[in-house]
Structure 1
Amino acid sequence: MKLRSRACAPGNDGLRESCEGGDAVHTYGLRAAVLACVLCGLALAGGFLVSGMGGLAVASAVVIALGWIVYFQSERSALAALRARPVGEVERPELYRLVRELCRDARLPVPRLFISPAMQPNILTVGCSPRSAAVCCTEGLLRLLSFGELRAVLAHEMAHVSRRDIVVSSWSAGLASLVAFCPLSALLLQLTASSGREYDADAEGALLAGDPMALASALRKIDMSAAALPLRPRGPLAASSHLMIAHPFPYGGFGRLFITHPPTGERVRRLEALAGYPR
């Protein structure tokens, strides 16, 4: 199923706006790549200035080691921050059935599923490729949403996997987790995150699920409940906030630094346009 080609079909304002958001998604990976190059360049230059070629060699080794740490730690830190545990098909057969159906339609491998005990309704997907993707739902999400709404939210996450933007998102989460206890992590997420990726995943997920209004309803519920049950913006959880479908922290104070999601009202408006609702 070609999600991107369907989402970019002409003749519908909601689809057109989603395609415009796709241009922003392309810059998402570019900004992350530029940031990585700048950080690596600064580290190598610093090593050379301090100790010449010997310092350059040490700095190169450190950069390579940190790159591997970021690559492998991004998933672990994000799931550990939510105290998530893996679940099997025997324990959650309906959840697995939904995911399998969506993956079959999107021609994607079935991801590993995790559940967090958090009562705030939210969901995230992390991984370095479609084959290594892991989807984590909170208990609050599973309790709050109806069957159709949960299906639409899972389709949104599968759209992220299909677009492969989880690779950059996971990398930026891993990088931010290295400096999770200082404000620099918020700056890193602001530099690498893009609201366009959420608009596109909304549109493509709605098309995959076949019900844009179910996703719009789910986003309203999640946004309201997340505001009533905010998480604390600290440590690896703060570094992983951009992976979630909705902003998980209070909109005031320190949590405001980590806002990387577009306004829920605008996301709902675009989904309504996609469904053909009058503005």
Structure 2
Amino acid sequence: MYGNWIKTSMLMAGIVALFGTVGALIGGRDGMLLALVFGGATNLWAYWFSDKMVLRMYRAREVDETTSPYLYNMVRELAQRADLPMPKVYLIDEAQPNAFATGRNPDNAAVAATTGIVQLLSERELRGVMAHELSHVKNRDILISTMSATVAGAITVLAQFGMFFGGRGEDRPHPVLAILVMLLAPIAAMIIQMAISRTREFGADRGGAEISGDPLALAAALAKIESYARGTPLATAERHPETAQMMIMNPLAGGMRGLFSTHPDTRERIARLQAMAR
């Protein structure tokens, strides 16, 4: 667990350093200050409003013990086991089996599941998935992923801005160096962002297995979700690919692999869970 946090901290430090470097190359000290102010403002906005935005984007409907007792009571029992406040529970009318968590902290969290995943998985497997999402809440992964995505996006915007406005006077970098940084910085930011996402998924797998007490249930759920998800598109995710990293499984058919993948390889995730069970 601590290894995941150390790796996440190092990656976050790397993306912030990259942010400052791009800002400095665009306009020296003033450019770095502009980058930090811009990043802080976008992070603050994302911190407060990203949960409402993504739930509205997926047309998620809130449920309770009257409208969806099966899912609601399952989440409540798992939240108690994890010593978490009861999150809001949402259903998304989509055939693809998937789920995600959102919210700026455990007191303002929500978990959402598609109707497809509720229908596909057994009760034991679905408990594993919802425990995984509650682990994201407990570890504040939603905030971490939101911040990394925001900073990565800000680097891209600043790099594009730098194509037209460089530094002034002595602060102006060598033109070739500036162009290289402006071209490569967004790619580097994306690689770091995806690495953070994969690290947090491994952490949520472990945390979810500990909450549910059944690592093999989550392993079975991941295998089943991947098998079904490839042939069933998640329409909203296709329109908004930036939300793919929030899901328990990449919802986009033929999703990127390796450095640009939002999620670890499913076989490796399953192998780690099986090792936990042993």
Q: How does the TM-score come out when normalised to structure 2?
A: 0.75
1:269 matches 2:271: yes
Q: Tell me the residue number matched to 2:178.
A: none
Following the alignment from structure 2 to structure 1, what is the Cα–Cα distance between the partners of residues 44 and 277?
A: 43
Which AA in structure 2 matches 1:79? Answer: L
Q: How does 1:4-15 map to 2 (within 5 A)?
A: none
Counterpart pick for 1:160 among 121, 132, 136? 136
Q: Percent identity between the aligned chains?
A: 36
Is 1:124–1:137's contact at 8 Å kept on the other side of the alignment?
Answer: yes
Is 1:25–1:194's contact at 8 Å kept on the other side of the alignment?
Answer: no
Helix, strand or coil at the partner of 2:111: strand
Q: Tell me the residue number matched to 2:79.
A: 103
Unaligned runs of 5+ in 1: 1-18
Following the alignment from structure 1 to structure 2, what is the Cα–Cα distance between the partners of residues 111 and 43?
A: 38
Deviations 1:36-91 (A, max 9, x none): 35425644774667xx6xx8887776444323222233223432342322223321
Is 2:131–2:208's contact at 8 Å kept on the other side of the alignment?
Answer: yes
Deviation of 1:141 (Å): 0.8
Is 1:156–1:205's contact at 8 Å kept on the other side of the alignment?
Answer: yes
Following the alignment from structure 1 to structure 2, what is the Cα–Cα distance between the partners of residues 130 and 164?
A: 7
Helix, strand or coil at the partner of 2:77: helix
Task: Call closer, same or farther: CA 1:136–1:29 in 2, change over 3 Å.
Answer: farther
- Higher CA-based Rg: 2
Task: Call closer, same or farther: CA 1:174–1:56 in 2, change over 3 Å.
Answer: closer
Q: Tell me the residue number matched to 2:7.
A: 27
Counterpart pick for 2:227 among 204, 224, 232? 224
Helix, strand or coil at the partner of 1:240: helix
Which AA in structure 1 matches 2:139? Answer: R
Query: May I ask how many residue pairs the two structures share in their alignment?
Result: 248
Following the alignment from structure 1 to structure 2, what is the Cα–Cα distance between the partners of residues 148 and 273?
A: 19
Task: Call closer, same or farther: CA 1:111–1:175 in 2, change over 3 Å.
Answer: farther
Deviation of 1:137 (Å): 0.7
Unaligned runs of 5+ in 2: 161-182
Q: How does the TM-score come out when normalised to structure 1?
A: 0.75
Which AA in structure 2 matches 1:238? Answer: P
Is 1:85–1:116's contact at 8 Å kept on the other side of the alignment?
Answer: yes
Helix, strand or coil at the partner of 1:118: coil
Q: Tell me the residue number matched to 1:244.
A: 247
Q: Tell me the residue number matched to 1:5.
A: none
Following the alignment from structure 1 to structure 2, what is the Cα–Cα distance between the partners of residues 67 and 142?
A: 33
Is 2:128–2:217's contact at 8 Å kept on the other side of the alignment?
Answer: yes
Q: Tell me the residue number matched to 2:191.
A: 190
Is 2:63–2:72's contact at 8 Å kept on the other side of the alignment?
Answer: no
Which AA in structure 2 matches 1:262? Answer: P
Following the alignment from structure 1 to structure 2, what is the Cα–Cα distance between the partners of residues 59 and 258?
A: 24
For the aligned residue pairs, the C-alpha RMSD in angstroms reads 3.2
Helix, strand or coil at the partner of 1:83: coil
Following the alignment from structure 1 to structure 2, what is the Cα–Cα distance between the partners of residues 56 and 175?
A: 13
Q: Tell me the residue number matched to 2:261.
A: 259
Deviation of 1:186 (Å): 7.7
Q: Tell me the residue number matched to 1:6.
A: none
